Amino acid sequence: TAAGRYHRLKKHGKYFVENPNWNGADPIAAHDWLKTSWQRFRAAADRAGLTYYGMRVVEPHVDGTPHWHGVFFVPENQVEDFTQLLTQYQHQRDNDELYTLDGDPKLKAMEARVKIEKVDRSKGDAVAYIAKYISKNIDAHKLEGKKDLDSDLVDLVETVTNVTAWSRAFCFRQFQFQKTPSVTVWRELRRIEKEQEFCLFEKIRLAADCGCFASYFNWMGGHRLKQRNRPIKLFYERSENHYQELVKKTAGLTGVGITVLTREKKWALVKKDVGTKDNVTNVVRAFTRQVAIATKKNNKVTRILGSLGFLGFKSLGTAESGGSRFPWTSVNNCTLGTVPLENTCVPDIETRNQRITMNIKSVIPVLGQQIDKPP
């Protein structure tokens, strides 16, 4: 957990009250504080030669201040060093909160910064521990009526909804693995359908294709290798973005003498020209659908014709001066104008097909010519 001055609220008995020592920091600043402590610990652990791997989850306190939960696998002979280093860097900054004026430690404040426990298998294993926090941060599926184990007053559906909104508002990476093979490489491997030359690359691809993460984990070097030393890494290509800047984009995978492109197709949003044949066809279909649901009353049909404004055409039934124009939406709650029906484009024709044809001719002259003289 971040230092106490990063928390807007503090607990007072069963309730939360304003923290007089709050420095006005937002959740992003508190999260940066945690990341800095972790970066320093990680560097010190690498210098000390500690081998560990695991996962961390970030979630908010009641006041929105982020805190981390983690589960890590550490060799038995390195547990003490791991614990000591992590505690050291969590207590390194803002340590005036951790001691009294006489220099005595505030044990409760120290425990609030970092609390490390060994997994108690009588309560469940490491997976069960972290699964709780993952499930509380993804969705509220089938959680109706259930309460949080930490507080009987908290509804789980409301909790998950609030946490999701919080993480998206501040763009926090809620779940992050530590010292494990890249999940992005795993996903890119699963995009490769063709068999590769039978070597280490193909073994790793088969493990990913079969969905066996344990085999993928082992073939990629386990938890002891750094990412730059993994047998397979992401392959990037440089391309220009919308601002003509050169940026790196994932194009495939490379390793053990093989490079495989996984993203050969280029996707882009392209706006169709207004005058294209396909667009005109869509307009006609939409127009016909609107007229088909109209009643035989001329004023009803006229209102529907007026709603074609959203398709890019001028509204019908408008006078050169005075009167009211038809709206660009399908609903008009305003008082109708005094434009006589004989001035509108809807003639008194009995048959439905003739009426549709005449309406199309009056709205889109080009289409009217195509109807009379098909290409």
> Alpha carbon 315 to chain centroid distance?
40
Locate the DSSP E strands across 22-143: 53-60, 66-73
Question: What secondary structure letter does DSSP report for 105?
Answer: B
Give the active site residues. 129, 133
Q: Which helix (DSSP H) or strand (DSSP E) does residue 152 occupy?
A: strand 151-155
Q: Which helix (DSSP H) or strand (DSSP E) does residue 175 occupy?
A: strand 175-178
Question: What secondary structure letter does DSSP report for 54?
Answer: E
Task: Write the CA distances from 176 to 92, 107, 187, 287, integer angstroms.
Answer: 24, 29, 16, 52
Closest CA to 156 of 137, 174, 175: 137
| Tokens of residue 200, six digits | 């280490």
| Tokens of residue 209, six digits | 């294709």
Q: Which 3 state secondary structure label does DSSP give 73?
A: strand
Q: What is the spatial distance between Cα 193 and Cα 209, in angstroms, rounded to a whole number?
A: 8
Spell out a b/e string for 186-220, using b for 16 or more CB atoms within 10 Å of the CB, else e: bebbeebeeebeeeebbbbbbbbbeeeeeebbebb
Torsion sign across C-alpha atoms 170, 162, 127, 90: positive
Q: Is the distance from CB of 326 to CB of 332 less than 8 angstroms?
A: yes
